[in-house]
Amino acid sequence: MRPQPDFIHEFVPGSSERTLLLLHGTGGNERDLIPLGRELDPNAALLSPRGKVLENGMPRFFRRLAEGVFDLEDLKYRTHELADFVTAAAQHYGFASDNVVAVGYSNGANIAASMLLLLPEILSATILFRAMVPLVPETQPNLSAVRVWIGAGTYDPIIPTAETKRLAELLRGAGADVTMRYFQGKPDHQIESLLLDRWSPRAMSGEEISREELMRLFEAARWAPSSFNAQQWRALYARRGTEHWQTFFDLLVDANKVWAKNAAVLVVFISRKFFDHNDEPSVTHSYDAGAAWENFALQGFHQGLVVHGMEGFDYERARKELRIPDEFQVEAMAAVGKPGRKEWLPEKLQARESPNDRRKLSDSIFEGPFRSR
């Protein structure tokens, strides 16, 4: 006798060998993603279970303790439970168990990611909408044969882009072929996605970054444009756990210390106020340092790192403690690290942990003389 699948579910037969496992978000049901499944693959069979866990009457696939904080023991149990359901359904309906593609939204995407990390043999590929890192497995799975597509929003108030990148990094580290796509905020005019997607999170994990990773950021800064190619900018830095870390950290105001304590690197940017070749004043030294900083920040974002600039530190103390000569201007500091969960931030900062919009372009540019708005 074939085992009976024990989730409330819908099954729609298909004409191909592929089966889409459709996993709804919180408050959804077994019918919600059927139209999406048909849109994604008109020929695939569709298997769509309803989550067994109820949160205020709304179905979910596993328990959570708070927004973005998962009950890990329940998550592991429910992941195995769902995997058993897929295996039973394959036997019951006769579809190929080695060609199941999970399509998950939010809570459904998170349990699909959990299945990849804990039971990788169940899924051949995944499509994840608004997913987070569900857990970090004790043993890294082999996902070298698995393709993963992740869709996220640049201005998602629940899942910051840093969290999406952390998930992608975890899956890539296990060998998965990961493609990421962002639903972007709408610019007034079309621009490159790197410029639009970059933002300044604060949540960092406290993990170290390698010297090679860090040097790539400084290398990007090196290629910034500058007046007469004078490259007036300089950067002083300290890595977590080194003799200089505490000196740099103590420069920060308390409001920045509460989150920058989890950075891997702290950087102080300075610029020389005079040209090296003739010692004449350089009017654009700060402007040129800003160009180097932007390259630094963009490269960090491209590498999946958190890069957050700051003016909240003691400028005079920085000059004294770091022995910065008078001919240099202290410009700004930056914290660099690997992405962390926003729940690790103080509550007030959690509410701000999302990309910001920009004012209208017409408020910033003028053809001809300056005009007040």
pLDDT by residue (tens digit) across 227-265? 999 999 999 999 999 999 999 999 999 999 999 999 999
| Same domain (yes/no): 141, 289 | no
Within 10 angstroms of residue 324's Cβ, the number of other Cβ atoms is: 17
Whether 193 is in a domain gets the answer yes
Whether 356 is in a domain gets the answer no
pLDDT class for 1, splitting at 50, 70, 90? Answer: very low
| Same domain (yes/no): 234, 330 | yes
The answer to whether residue 2 scores a pLDDT higher than 60 is no
| Same domain (yes/no): 230, 113 | no
Whether 350 is in a domain gets the answer no
Q: What is the CATH number of the domain that holds 258?
A: 3.40.109.10
pTM of the model: 0.58
282 is catalytic: no
Residue carrying structure tokens 């998950």: 104
| Same domain (yes/no): 216, 180 | no
Q: Take residue 351 and report the two structure tokens written for it.
A: 């509410």
Supply the pLDDT for residue 3: 53
24 is catalytic: no
The answer to whether residue 95 scores a pLDDT higher than 90 is yes
Given the residues 24, 32, 48, 106, select the one marked as catalytic.
Answer: 106
Given the residues 188, 189, 277, 362, select the one marked as catalytic.
Answer: 189
Q: Which domain covers residue 314, as residue numbers?
A: 211-338
Task: Work out the mean pLDDT of the chain and round it to a whole number.
Answer: 93
| Same domain (yes/no): 185, 222 | no
pLDDT class for 4, splitting at 50, 70, 90? Answer: low
Given the residues 41, 71, 74, 156, select the one marked as catalytic.
Answer: 156
Whether 327 is in a domain gets the answer yes
156 is catalytic: yes
Lowest-pLDDT range of 32-36, 318-322, 369-373:
369-373
pLDDT class for 51, splitting at 50, 70, 90? Answer: very high
Asked whether the beta carbons of 83 and 122 are under 8 A apart, the reply is yes
| Same domain (yes/no): 282, 143 | no
Q: How far apart are CA 276 and CA 282, in angstroms?
A: 9
| Same domain (yes/no): 127, 217 | no
Whether 373 is in a domain gets the answer no
Number of domains in the chain: 2
Supply the pLDDT for residue 27: 93
Q: What is the CA radius of gyration of the chain?
A: 25
| Same domain (yes/no): 155, 291 | no
